Structure formats: C-alpha cells, structure tokens
Amino acid sequence: SYVLAQPPSVSVAPGQTARITCGGNSIGSKSVHWYQEKPGQAPVLVVYDDSDRPSGIPERFSGSNSGNTATLTISRVEAGDEADYYCQVWDSSSDHVVFGGGTKLTVL
Amino acid sequence: EVQLLESGGDLVQPGGSLRLSCAASGFTFRNNAMHWVRQAPGKGLEWVSAITGSGGRTYYADSVKGRFTISRDNSRNTLYLQMNTLGADDTALYYCARDPGVTGIYYFDYWGQGNLVTVSS
C-alpha cells in the first residue's frame, strides 16, 4: 500500500519560514492535499491539488510537489500557525485515501 | 453555509455494533462524495470509508473492510456508517467529511466536529 512519510515535528521562530515535507514514491504524479489541525478542532483544508488555496486561507500558505516529495511552506510564521499538519493523497492503485503521519509545527 | 453534524457515537462493548449518522446541510448533498475519517486518541488521521454522490461506489480502508458499511440517503441528506464487530482499535473520534467530487475521490473540503466512539468493556 502507498505510504506517505512526514517528519514528526518542525520548529520555527515567529516570522520565519516553515517547510513541512511529505515523502512518497513518485508523489509528484499525484495530487497532494494538506490539512491543519489545532487541538480540540476539526481539521481544516489549507492547500489542495498541490498548490491551490481554499478561500479564506492566507497567502502565507503554499504548496509544491515534485519527484518523491511534496512540501507545505508557511511564510512569516505566526503563533496561531502552531498545529498538526497532515498531507493526503488518493491512491488510485488501491482505491484508498492515504494520510501522512502528521507533523507537529511548534512556533518557538 | 455547509454544515455536517455527526451523531450516534457511544460507549460500546467489544464485539458490539453502532451506527453513526451525519446530517448535511448548506449544499446539494447528492452532488458530493462523502467520507468518514477517524482519529484515535493521541494519534493521526485515518481514512475509514468513502461513498460517491449517487451511492453507487463505496471504498473502505483495509482495517474496516468487511466490518463497516457506508451508505447514504440523498432524500434525507444523511450519511451513515454501520460499524460491526467493534474492537478496542476502533475507539476514536469519527469525522464526517465532504469531498468536492461527485464520482471521483479527491480530498476533504468540509469536516464535521466529530463524534466519539469508545469500545470498552
């Protein structure tokens, strides 16, 4: 089955840029989606189809996808960005939705 | 405004059954595939099942295939998850989520607030 690998944690100072990676075999050939989950709240879609943003999501959130790695980039990080972030794809070979294990973003 | 409201979560004994419901509003329900996603305490997100807008195709994670059944009633704008032979590993917060696709499966653009299922004796 298809596997997505995320680093368990990423730390960044306020105002800096956070990059959260999502690794998978030829992930560049798939559409990758990203979710933000804060404690006690439902997940929120922050990037879809590799690099598109839903309405209401700040331009500070961006995504890219190539080769074996997709990346969620958060520019000018704020304290309110502290959350768990998950990548997700649809694996058509198994007809399964696949999530990465999640990355906890800590704002120092 | 899109709203998804889950219900039916409860404490159930191992081997028992439970049916979750998700009442949808604010959009044309039949025009969207729907999903169930769960999160065990302190763990990550796990996709459980999906169903196309018409209900004609269903998909299941390996961990629940043969035990769980997803269905929908488009006349009642309601999504269901029938869960049988429950085990401790099924203890989780269960989310209902909308997919922007109708016949294809893509991602989750709206989520409910979640409903807790606890399997314990």
Task: State which residue of chain B sits closest to A53, comparing Cα positions.
Answer: B109
CA gap A108, A10 in Å, rounded = 10
Q: What is the pLDDT of residues A41-69, one digit of tens each?
A: 999 999 999 999 999 999 999 999 999 99
For chain A, say whether B114 makes contact (Cβ under 8 Å): yes
Chain B CB within 8 Å of residue A28 CB: no
Residue with tokens 């769980």: B68
Interface of A with B in 76-105 (CB under 8 A): 84, 86, 88, 90, 95-102
User: So what's the pLDDT on residue B101?
Assistant: 86
**Exposed e or buried b per residue across A27-54, where buried means at least 16 C-beta atoms within 10 angstroms of its C-beta:** beebbbbbbbbeeeebbbbbbbebbebe
To the nearest whole angstrom, how far is the Cα of A1 from the nearest Cα of chain B?
10
What is the torsional sign of CA A76, A80, A84, A86?
negative
Q: How far apart are CA A85 and CA A34, in angstroms?
A: 7
Average pLDDT, chain A: 97
Q: Which pLDDT score, from 0 to 100, does residue B103 have?
A: 81
Instruction: Kindly list the averaged pLDDT for each block of 10 residues, start to end, along chain B of length 121.
Output: 96 97 97 97 97 95 98 98 98 97 89 98 94
Rounded-to-5 percentages of helix, strand, coil across chain B: 5, 45, 50
The CB-based long-range contact list for B56-60 (8 Å cut-off, 24+ gap) reads: B57/B103, B59/A95, B59/A96, B59/A97, B59/B105
- Tell whether B10 is within 8 A of chain A (Cβ): no
Per-residue pLDDT at A100 exceeds 90: yes
Return the pLDDT at A101.
98
pLDDT at B102: 82
Task: Report CA torsion sign: A20, A48, B32, B25.
Answer: positive
> What are the structure tokens assigned to A74, written together?
């958060």
Question: Is residue A103 scored above 90 in pLDDT?
Answer: yes
Q: How far apart are alpha carbons B119 and B84 in whole angstroms? A: 11
pLDDT given for residue B5 in this prediction = 97
Contact B67, B12 (CB under 8 A): no
CA dihedral A47, A53, A57, A60 (to 10 degrees): 80
Buried b (16+ CB within 10 A) or exposed e, A84-98: bbbbbbbbeeeebbb
CB-CB under 8 Å, A44 with B113: no
Closest CA to A85 of A97, A103, A71, A61: A103
| Rounded average pLDDT over A18-44 | 97
User: What pLDDT score does B83 carry?
Assistant: 98
pLDDT tens-digit readout, B75-91 = 999 999 999 999 999 99
Query: What are the E-state strand segments in B63-114?
Result: 68-73, 78-83, 92-98, 110-111
